Amino acid sequence: MPIVTIIWGVLAILIVWVLSHPKIRNKPVWRATVTPLASIIGSGFLIAAPLLNDLSGHYAIYVMVTLCVFAYSIGQIIRWNIQHVEPNLAAQQDRHLLQIERLSDIALTAAYVLSVTYYLYLFSSFIVRIFSIQFSGTTQIITTVVLLLMAFFGYFRGFKILEKIEIFAVNIKLSIITVFLCALLFFNLDHPAPSYVPSSFDMKHIPIIMGLLIMIQGFETSRYLGKEYSAEIRVKSMRNAQLLSTGIYIIFILLFSLVFQLHPLSGEISDTSVIDIAKYVFWGAPIFLFIAAVTSQLSAALADFAGNGGLVNEVSQQRVSVKVAYVFIAAACIVLVWSFDIFEIISFASKGFALYYFFQCLSSMWVHFRIAKAKFVFSLCVGILCLLVVLFGQPFES
């Protein structure tokens, strides 16, 4: 094993230790920040570079900035909703607002089903890729087995036992991302850029880019931490998470562009293409990313699966118990994973969350219509963009 890989491994372990230290782990703002941060950079970090490079070439960084600005704008709407919509909901007096939020919850329920499918599909794809399994349908079989196990645990045991695993998985993911960014920086310093960089961007790719919204989704989780944190902490932590993730994504795409220039990907782009290109950064990079992939995707899937069980229970007005909801969610995910490929599921999930964000914009518009015209107009503009994603977003085709 090359010495460089050992050094990066030691650094990753050190970062996990630092993040696990009680002085950091027990700070409310940091704990509240980690939840949306881990969700935002979880799977998007693994698929962003190959997809955006294939779609937009030298313009990938500008596309990433645009997606992040769009996400931050949606996040601002949700932060306003934490401050102004939630008090109205608590009063239970505005019937129209309650109806909008109910539609929002229904959209989020569907979006979470799609996101669980996406996370576990990606989880299985990385297992198949790293072990070079050639049998057709293996990815779907692994995903189905995991979903059946999750339904079994959810119905008979619950997910309380998995909370500590989720926290540990988040720390591993953040440590590996930090190490990989450092490794990319050294790669850029050691390799001169080519004298000519071909640029390409086809306007017909815009609908496909719109279908990649899920890459920067996850910040909305702060909205649903009200039982644990105050509105002030949730607003601050969501903003922190979005700013940090934006910085990470922009630096990641910027530094990774040189790797693609020196080592262009051959063949079709897949959901695990980052493994093929990462080996040029340092010897052990594919292993590091594999560990990040399986831990982050499984923990994210468990979090959304468990949370969606409670959401289905609320949306059905307790007609469907949480335990039974887990079975329904698993069944829906299994149907999806056998019916569509990963890029179609990514597009569907993006549309699902865009629809949820659209309803959040409606809630903001309803509350701010008479008291804050600027916020109303901003919410209207962002809502229109979200609706465009729902209507025109398309899946990536390799």
- Residues 268-325 pLDDT 10s: 788 888 888 998 998 898 999 888 888 888 878 887 888 888 889 888 888 998 889 9
What band does 162 get if pLDDT is binned at 50, 70 and 90? low
Q: Residue 241, SS3?
A: helix
When divided into structural domains, the chain yields a total of 1
Mean pLDDT, residues 116-135: 90
Residue 398 included in any domain: no
Residue 71 included in any domain: yes
Mean pLDDT, residues 189-208: 79
219, 75 contact by CB (below 8 A)? yes
Amino acid letter for position 252: F
Higher pLDDT, 65 or 371: 65
Residue 172's H or E segment, with its range, is helix 163-190
What band does 5 get if pLDDT is binned at 50, 70 and 90? confident
Distance (Å, whole) CA 324 – CA 318? 11
Q: Kindly calculate the radius of gyration of the chain based on its CA atoms and give it in whole angstroms.
A: 21
What band does 132 get if pLDDT is binned at 50, 70 and 90? confident
- What tens digit of pLDDT does each residue of 201-238 get? 788 889 999 888 888 888 888 887 777 788 899 999 89
Q: What was the pLDDT predicted at 196?
A: 60
Q: Please report, for the domain that includes residue 173, its CATH number.
A: 1.20.1740.10
Distance (Å, whole) CA 34 – CA 18? 14
- What tens digit of pLDDT does each residue of 163-178 get? 566 677 778 888 998 9
Q: What b-and-e string marks burial along 30-44, b requiring 16 or more CB atoms within 10 Å of the CB?
A: ebbbbbbbbbbbbbb
Distance (Å, whole) CA 240 – CA 33? 7
Distance (Å, whole) CA 216 – CA 99? 27
Question: Does the pLDDT of residue 261 top 90, yes or no?
Answer: no
Residue 397 included in any domain: no
Which pTM was predicted?
Answer: 0.92
The Cα-based distances of 60 to 176, 236, 246, 340 in angstroms read: 23, 29, 14, 26
Question: Does the pLDDT of residue 1 top 60, yes or no?
Answer: no
Residue 287 included in any domain: yes
Residue 173 included in any domain: yes
Distance (Å, whole) CA 184 – CA 289? 13
What band does 21 get if pLDDT is binned at 50, 70 and 90? confident
Of 42, 317, 330, 26, the C-alpha closest to 159 is 330
Of 185, 310, 303, the C-alpha closest to 248 is 185
92, 98 contact by CB (below 8 A)? yes
Q: What was the pLDDT predicted at 70?
A: 95
Q: What was the pLDDT predicted at 38?
A: 77
Residue 379 included in any domain: yes
Question: Does the pLDDT of residue 148 top 90, yes or no?
Answer: yes
Mean pLDDT, residues 12-19: 91
Q: What b-and-e string marks burial along 69-106, b requiring 16 or more CB atoms within 10 Å of the CB?
A: ebbbbbbbbbbbbbebbbebbeeeebeebeebbebbeb
What band does 353 get if pLDDT is binned at 50, 70 and 90? very high
Q: Which domain holds residue 306?
A: 3-392
What band does 66 get if pLDDT is binned at 50, 70 and 90? very high
Reduced 3-state DSSP string for 268-333: CCCCCHHHHHHCCCCCCHHHHHHHHHHHHHHHHHHHHHHHHHHHHHHHCCCCCCHHHHHHHHHHHH
Q: Report DSSP state, residue 89.
A: H
Residue 371's H or E segment, with its range, is none
Higher pLDDT, 333 or 371: 333
The Cα-based distances of 151 to 48, 228, 301, 320 in angstroms read: 30, 26, 12, 15
What band does 93 get if pLDDT is binned at 50, 70 and 90? confident
